[in-house]
Amino acid sequence: MTTDSGRREVLLVVHPDREATRGAARDVAVRLAAAGVLLRVIGEEVRELVEISGDGAPCIVVAPEDDPAAGTELVLVLGGDGTLLRAAELARPAGVPVLGINLGRVGFLTEADSDALADTVQRVVDRRYRIEERMTVDVTVTISGQVVAHTWALNEASVEKSTRERILDALIEVDGRPVSSFGCDGVLCATPTGSTAYAFSAGGPVIWPDVEALLVVPSNAHAMFSRPLVVSRASVITVQVDPDGSPAVLTCDGLRHIELAPGARVQVVAGRVPVRLARLWEDPFTDRLVHKFSLPVKSWRERHARSGP
């Protein structure tokens, strides 16, 4: 996408650790400027982080607060999955794809590691990437039948106890029918993208991104039946906080938090608006899973035979 003047623009979102991202951010700015691509940043602090003085310094502008990604062709992320989730919050309303360069640890959502920064930026300049749409969830909170909040998530919507010493008493419904109720630390409603995030840590299965499904994972449930559930994309998941129990909190992607009073109902459905991710390579998801989690792909005997006596 280009602006009305034909100028290309890329929005840069960086990890808040200034020292960790300074070198990479400036490298991106210089490379994009050399290709005639305008760099858009969020806030004066990020502008100061990226800005370079002298002849040939890149052109950097501060994004408008109301819709920072509007009019750009790409949101480029320097950081880990948390930074990419923040970027997705900005990119989704504008329908702009997100491309992550991992400066963190696992970086499951990011597309490239920091040592491939130069090649990644060149691919952006050349528009050598494809767009992959990722399923989201829309989340509605009601109390006594009245809607009190509406939000969304790319990874997961998590209903959790609000204090450590309390237990969340929750009732799970699928398509308007009760499934189970129990005391727990929380209940996660995740997308296939989120199956490798919080839901994975809570004991849920890995779901390939192209599978059209929703995942429900109880966290530390005090119950005989507390297995993860994989339900249809068309299903409606409801988590109700016990009216006679303790309050809870709804957290979406670790970014958006909503306090839940006893009796609150959290409804989760497949999202109407996806998040668009930019992909540089055609590697299958299986390879990404093995690489990111450093999974052993050799048999026990073969690994030990290589090590020798």
What is the C-alpha separation between 272 and 258, in angstroms, rounded? 21
Tell me, yes or no, if 175 is annotated catalytic: no
Decide: 94 and 5 in contact? Cβ < 8 Å.
no
The single residue of 55, 81, 169, 244 carrying the catalytic annotation is 81
What is the C-alpha separation between 281 and 129, in angstroms, rounded? 7
Decide: 35 and 11 in contact? Cβ < 8 Å.
no
Distances in whole angstroms, Cα of residue 15 to Cα of each of 7, 69, 110, 184, 299:
26, 17, 13, 33, 39
Structure tokens at 7: 């100028």
Please give the positions annotated as active site. Answer: 81
